[in-house]
Structure formats: structure tokens, C-alpha cells
Amino acid sequence: MTSYIVGYTIIILIVLFIVFCVLVKRRVLFANTPSMQKIFAHPLLFYSFRRLGSALISLILAILVTFFLIRLATPADNTCYKLFYDPKISELVYNLRCDNWKENMGFSGTMLQQLINYFYAILPFPKTLCVTEINVDLGMYTITGCRNFIFDFGRIYKLAGFTDGGFVWDYILPRMGVSFEIGIIAVVLELALGYPFGILMAKYENGWFDRIGKAYIISVDAIPGIAYYYIWLALLCSVFMLPMTYDADNFLSWLPAILTMAFTGMAGIGLWVRRYMVDEFNADYVKFARSKGLSESRILWVHILRNAVVPLVRTFPSAVIGALLGTYYLENIYGIPGIGQAVMVAINSNNSSLLSGIIIISALLSILSYLLGDIVTALCDPRISFTKE
């Protein structure tokens, strides 16, 4: 009951806040209070509301597409046959088990009913969901456990090491934590390497450092990703003797994946930093600063870098949120039990609910990262102006 009260209270407060801001903007409330107008009718706030509305529409479309693709790819009757058919059991028992599975997985009822239940489970409303099991002797269902959820992505069946009928969220959440631990360290390292890398390339344009840097960037783009990862695997594990298999208790075993992600990501960051900084070097304000006698170092660090970094700040949210999703190839290469590896597990084990859960979480986080990137850019770039009404 407490989770329902808290959940619906938060939802109601968010709706009331948006309504309040709209009324303030339209001067229905606090029309003659400049301080309230400045805060609650700020253009950036309404820009964020519009972007959030667009993000919600995109998320709903992603959910719709995922629902129909999963239903078309995994017909319920065919999946039931693969999971429960056994010539040793009676047809009655088989049908009872199949019906119970459909009920737990959301495959019962008409397609419209399934779609409504699917949206109800995924959208952020407090809900209590129960797992049922079939009692063959009595020919009836029994409830084995109930949980309170905000988001529910369904159940998992026939997955090694995981209880049949267990919730997808219980499988995904700890793996997101593992991916984030590895990914966030890699993100910090690639930013720490990528920005100085791009700055030095721009500062010594067409010099030896710039040529080596461009050669490295081209090599990263030209070599297929999977081949590039195995090159780093050979270098880090065979030459530097780092562990080849991930061990949660041994930080050295994290390094091959971290360094591979960091050295790959720094190439893209370095390329964009160099490109923006070279453009800024030719800007009028730089020519004016040189005519005033300012040193090249002061022009670089005080004027150029500040302007060149603005277009890149939008990548920060996506980089951090992307760390939650891991990387499919690297997690499988090094045996990291993260969200990327979970995708391959879902495909190989034919777990449609697990796969759809990962797809929807990925879509949600991607949309959120773009939204945060736009807002951060709007906050940091003084050249961005909002429509005044």
C-alpha cells in the first residue's frame, strides 16, 4: 500500500507542477510577480517540457514496435510447445501449463487486451504483480509470490541459473550494475584521454603528433569493431599479461574491457575536439586576440577551448547513460555478466520477454540521454536563444 501511495503521489505532483507552470506562463497565476514568472515561466523549463513530450511519444512508439515484433517473432502456441511439450504428460496437463505460462507472460486474451496489459506493465504506474503455478493434481492455479513494481518487463522461463517465472527486472538490474561499473570507468578514462588528445592535435595541426593522431583515428574507423577488440585482447592479455576472463573480485580483470572501450572512445572524442578547435582557430575573435598581442597558449586555453567544448557537452549524458547498457561484443569476449551479454543470452535462449525488456530499457535510456544532452547544451551555450512570447 505504501508503494502505491508514494508512486501515485509522485505522479500527481509532477502533473500538478506542469499545470502550475503553464498557468504561471499564461499569467493566470502570479501575473504581477516577476520573481515567480522568472522561475516558473522560464523558457528553458518549457523547452524541457516540449522535449520531454517528444521523448514520451518516441518511447510509446518504441514500445508499440517492440510489442508487435515480439508477438510476430514468437507466437505463443509455438513457444508453449517448445517449453512444455512432453509425450509423457497428458494433453490436459500440457494445456494447463501452457495456459498458466500465457497468463504469466501476458499472452492471454485478445491482441488488444495483450497490448493494454503490456502498456500497463511497462508504464510507470504502481502495480502489484503475482506469479502463479499450476497444481496438476487439483487442476488449478496457485499464487506463489507477489511483488510491487513501477516498471514490469515480464517473466523469464527456461533460463539456466534463473528460477522459472522469475521477473525480467530481477535479471536485468544486477547486470546493469556490472555494466555501469565497467562502463563509467571507461567513460571517465576516454574523456580524460580524448580531450587532451584532440587539443594537442589541433594545437600542432599538420605536425607529427597530429599526423600520428589522425592515423590512429583512421585505423579505429577502418578496422571492424570485433577485429579491433581482438587486437586489444591480444595486446593486453598476451603482451601485458592481464587476465582474459572477468572476475568481480579482481580489478586487473576489468582493465582489458575498460582500456579497450577507453582507447576506442578517445578516437571519436579526439576527432571532434580537433575539428571544433581548428574551426575556432580561424574565427574572427581569435584573430582579434592575436592582434592584441595575447599569447597562443592564452588564446588556446582561455578563449578557444571554452567555445570549442560547448558543442561536445551534449555527449556527456549519453556517455554516462550508455555505460549502463554495456557493450555486446566486449562483455561476451571477456565473460562480463552485464546487460550486453544478457542480449545474447536472451537471443540464444529464446526469451522474448527478456529481449523486449532490454530493448525498451535501451530505448528509454537513449531517449533520456538525448533529452539531457539537449538541455545541457542549451544551458551551456549562450548562443542558444528561446522563443519569447
Cβ neighbours of residue 363 under 8 Å, at least 6 residues apart? 58, 59, 62, 63, 66
Higher confidence at residue 89 or residue 21? 21
Q: Which residue has the higher pLDDT, 98 or 216?
A: 216
Parallel, antiparallel or unpaired: strands 155-156 and 127-135: unpaired
Report the pLDDT value the prediction gives residue 256, as an integer from 0 to 100: 92
Length of the chain: 389
pLDDT at residue 178 tops 50: yes
- Mean pLDDT of all residues in 341-357: 80
Tell me: the pLDDT tens digits for 85-136?
788 877 877 888 788 778 777 787 888 888 888 888 887 777 777 766 665 5
Judged against a pLDDT cut of 60, whether residue 282 lies above it is answered with yes
Instruction: Encode pLDDT of 139-152 as tens digits.
Output: 555 666 677 777 77
Whether the per-residue pLDDT at 40 is higher than 80: the answer is yes
pLDDT at 385 over 60: no
Residue of 137, 169, 136 whose CA lies nearest to 151? 169
Q: 286 with 232: CB under 8 angstroms?
A: no
Cα separation of 95 and 81, whole Å? 10
Least confident span in 116-120, 197-201, 207-211, 363-367:
363-367
Look at residue 384 and tell me whether its pLDDT is greater than 60.
no
Is the confidence at residue 279, as pLDDT, over 50? Answer: yes
pLDDT score recorded for residue 383: 58
Tell me the mean pLDDT in the region 285-290: 78
Which of 102, 306, 271 shows the shortest CA–CA distance to 194? 271
Region of poorest pLDDT, from 18-22, 77-81, 110-114, 215-219: 77-81
Unique residue bearing C-alpha cell 517449453: 83
Rounded distance, CA 124 to CA 5, Å?
14
- At 131, phi and psi to the nearest 5? -100, 135
Grid coordinates belonging to 175: 547486470
Return the minimum-mean-pLDDT range out of 11-25, 91-105, 120-134, 274-288.
120-134
Average pLDDT of every residue of the chain: 79
Looking at the chain, the whole-number percentage of residues with pLDDT higher than 70 is 87
Give the tens place of pLDDT for each residue, 227-273. 888 888 899 998 889 998 899 889 999 999 999 988 988 888 888 88
Q: Comparing C-alpha atoms, which of 174, 125, 121, 104 is closest to residue 3?
A: 125
389 has a pLDDT exceeding 50? no
pTM, entire model: 0.76
**Cα–Cα distance for residue pair 166/172, rounded to 1 Å:** 11
Return the pLDDT at 142.
63
The Cα 368–Cα 294 span in angstroms is: 42
Three-state SS string across the chain, please?
CHHHHHHHHHHHHHHHHHHHHHHHHCCCCCCCCHHHHHHHCCHHHHHHHHHHHHHHHHHHHHHHHHHHHHHHHCCHHHHHHHHHCCCCCCHHHHHHHHHHHHHHHCCCCCHHHHHHHHHHHHCCCCEEEEEEEEECCCCEEEEEEEEEECCCCCEECCECCECCCEEHHHHHHHHHHHHHHHHHHHHHHHHHHHHHHHHHHHHCCCCHHHHHHHHHHHHHHHCCHHHHHHHHHHHHHHHCCCCCCCCCCCHHHCHHHHHHHHHHHHHHHHHHHHHHHHHHHCCHHHHHHHHCCCCHHHHHHHHHHHHHHHHHCCHHHHHHHHHHHCCHHHHHHCCCCCHHHHHHHHHHCCCHHHHHHHHHHHHHHHHHHHHHHHHHHHHHCCCCCCCCC
Most confident option among 15-29, 55-69, 142-156: 15-29
